[in-house]
Chains A and B, each alone.
Chain A
Amino acid sequence: MQKVKNIVIAGLGGQGVLTASDMLAEAAFRAGFDVKKSELHGMSQRGGSVSSDVRYGEQVMSPMVPAGEADVLLVLEATQIEINRHMLSPGGVLIDPGLLSEGTLKNKKSLNVALLGAVSTVLDIPQEHWMAAIYANLAEKLHKVNDQAFALGREAALQGSIAQH
Chain B
Amino acid sequence: MTTAERQLLSGDDAVALAALHAGVRLGTGYPGTPSTEILETFDRLGGRAQWSPNEKVALEVALGVAFAGARTLVTMKHVGLNVAADPLFTATYTDVEGGLVIVSADDPGMASSQNEQDNRHYSRAAVIPTLEPIDSQQTYDFTLLAFEISERWKIPVLLRLTTRVCHSKTIVVPRAPVSDVAEPAFERNIPARVMIPAYAKPAHHRLRAKLAEIAAWNEAEGPIRLDDGDSKLGVISTGISAVHAREAAPQASHLTIGMTYPLPFERIRAFAASVERVLVVEEGDPVLVDDLRAAGIQVEGKPEMYRFSELDVARVRRILAGDTSPETVLPKGKPPELCQGCAHREVFQALGELECIVSGDIGCYTLGVLPPFSAMDTCVCMGASIGVGLGLRHALPEEQARRVVSVIGDSTFVHSGLTGIAEMVYNPPATGHLVMILDNGTTAMTGLQEHPGTGRLLDHSTTNKLSFEGIARAMGVQNVHVVDTTDKSVSLKDVIAELLAKPETSLLITRQPCVLAAPKIRVYDKAAAESARQHSCAAAVTA
What residues make up the interface of A, taking CB atoms closer than 8 Å to B? 12-13, 22, 25-26, 29-30, 34-49, 51, 60-64, 66-67, 79-80, 82-83, 86
The A interface is mostly helix, strand or loop, or mixed, namely mixed
Residues on A with beta carbons closer than 8 Å to the beta carbon of B34: 42
Q: Are the CB atoms of B312 and A25 closer together than 8 Å?
A: no
Q: Are the CB atoms of A63 and B168 closer together than 8 Å?
A: yes
**The 3 residue pairs across chains A and B that have the minimum distance between CB atoms:** A49-B333, A42-B112, A46-B336
Measured CA separation A40–B169 after assembly (Å): 12
Given A43-B111, A62-B247, A34-B171 contact (CB < 8 Å): yes
Q: Are the CB atoms of B364 and A46 closer together than 8 Å?
A: yes
Q: Is B462 an interface position by the 8 A CB rule?
A: no
Given A46-B364, A62-B312, A82-B169 contact (CB < 8 Å): no
Chain A: CB-nearest residue to B113: A42
Residues on B with beta carbons closer than 8 Å to the beta carbon of A49: 333-335
Other-chain contact of B339, A42, A43, A44, A47 (Cβ < 8 Å)? A47
Residues on B with beta carbons closer than 8 Å to the beta carbon of A51: 333
Residues on A with beta carbons closer than 8 Å to the beta carbon of B169: 22, 25, 35-38, 63
Measured CA separation A110–B355 after assembly (Å): 44
Question: What are 15 A-B contacts with C-beta separation under 8 Å?
Answer: A25-B8, A34-B171, A35-B169, A40-B167, A42-B111, A45-B447, A45-B516, A48-B335, A48-B336, A48-B337, A61-B243, A61-B313, A63-B168, A63-B169, A82-B331
Other-chain contact of A61, B167, B244, B445 (Cβ < 8 Å)? B244
How distant is B316 from chain A, measured CB to nearest CB, in Å? Answer: 9
Q: Are the CB atoms of B312 and A66 closer together than 8 Å?
A: yes
Measured CA separation A48–B364 after assembly (Å): 13
Q: Are the CB atoms of A36 and B168 closer together than 8 Å?
A: yes
B 509-526 contacts with A by CB, 8 A = 516
Residues on A with beta carbons closer than 8 Å to the beta carbon of B312: 62, 64, 66
Q: Is B163 an interface position by the 8 A CB rule?
A: yes
Interface residue total, chain B, C-beta cutoff 8 A = 40
Most buried by A among B112, B336, B337: B336
Q: Are the CB atoms of A79 and B336 closer together than 8 Å?
A: no
How distant is A95 from chain B, measured CB to nearest CB, in Å? Answer: 19
Residues on A with beta carbons closer than 8 Å to the beta carbon of B135: 36, 63
Chain B: CB-nearest residue to A83: B331
What residues make up the interface of B, taking CB atoms closer than 8 Å to A? 3, 6, 8, 33-34, 111-112, 135, 163-164, 167-171, 240, 243-244, 246-247, 312-314, 328, 330-339, 364, 367, 445-447, 516
Other-chain contact of A46, B33, B331, B338 (Cβ < 8 Å)? B338
Given A35-B8, A41-B33, A47-B336 contact (CB < 8 Å): yes
Q: Are the CB atoms of A40 and B111 closer together than 8 Å?
A: yes
How distant is B523 from chain A, measured CB to nearest CB, in Å? Answer: 14
Measured CA separation A79–B445 after assembly (Å): 25
Measured CA separation A63–B312 after assembly (Å): 9
Measured CA separation A157–B336 after assembly (Å): 32
Residues on B with beta carbons closer than 8 Å to the beta carbon of A66: 312-314
Q: Are the CB atoms of A63 and B447 closer together than 8 Å?
A: no
Chain B: CB-nearest residue to A44: B336
Q: Are the CB atoms of B333 and A48 closer together than 8 Å?
A: yes
Given A67-B314, A83-B331, A62-B243 contact (CB < 8 Å): yes
Given A29-B8, A42-B33, A67-B314, A86-B336 contact (CB < 8 Å): no
Measured CA separation A45–B443 after assembly (Å): 13
How distant is A46 from chain B, measured CB to nearest CB, in Å? Answer: 3
Chain A: CB-nearest residue to B314: A66
Q: Are the CB atoms of A12 and B334 closer together than 8 Å?
A: yes
Chain B: CB-nearest residue to A32: B3
Most buried by A among B3, B168, B243, B246: B168
Residues on B with beta carbons closer than 8 Å to the beta carbon of A34: 171
Task: Give me 17 other A-B pairs in contact (C-beta within 8 A), A29-B171, A46-B367 excluded.
Answer: A29-B8, A36-B168, A41-B111, A41-B167, A42-B446, A43-B335, A44-B336, A45-B445, A46-B337, A62-B244, A62-B312, A64-B312, A64-B313, A67-B330, A80-B334, A82-B331, A86-B330
Most buried by B among A34, A37, A80: A37
Most buried by A among B3, B34, B447: B3
Q: Are the CB atoms of A36 and B170 closer together than 8 Å?
A: yes
Residues on B with beta carbons closer than 8 Å to the beta carbon of A63: 135, 164, 168-170, 240, 243
Q: Are the CB atoms of A47 and B8 closer together than 8 Å?
A: no
Q: Are the CB atoms of B334 and A48 closer together than 8 Å?
A: yes
Chain A: CB-nearest residue to B342: A46
Q: Are the CB atoms of B447 and A35 closer together than 8 Å?
A: no
How distant is A50 from chain B, measured CB to nearest CB, in Å? Answer: 8
Q: Are the CB atoms of B168 and A43 closer together than 8 Å?
A: no
Q: Are the CB atoms of B167 and A39 closer together than 8 Å?
A: yes
Q: Are the CB atoms of B337 and A37 closer together than 8 Å?
A: no
Measured CA separation A86–B330 after assembly (Å): 8
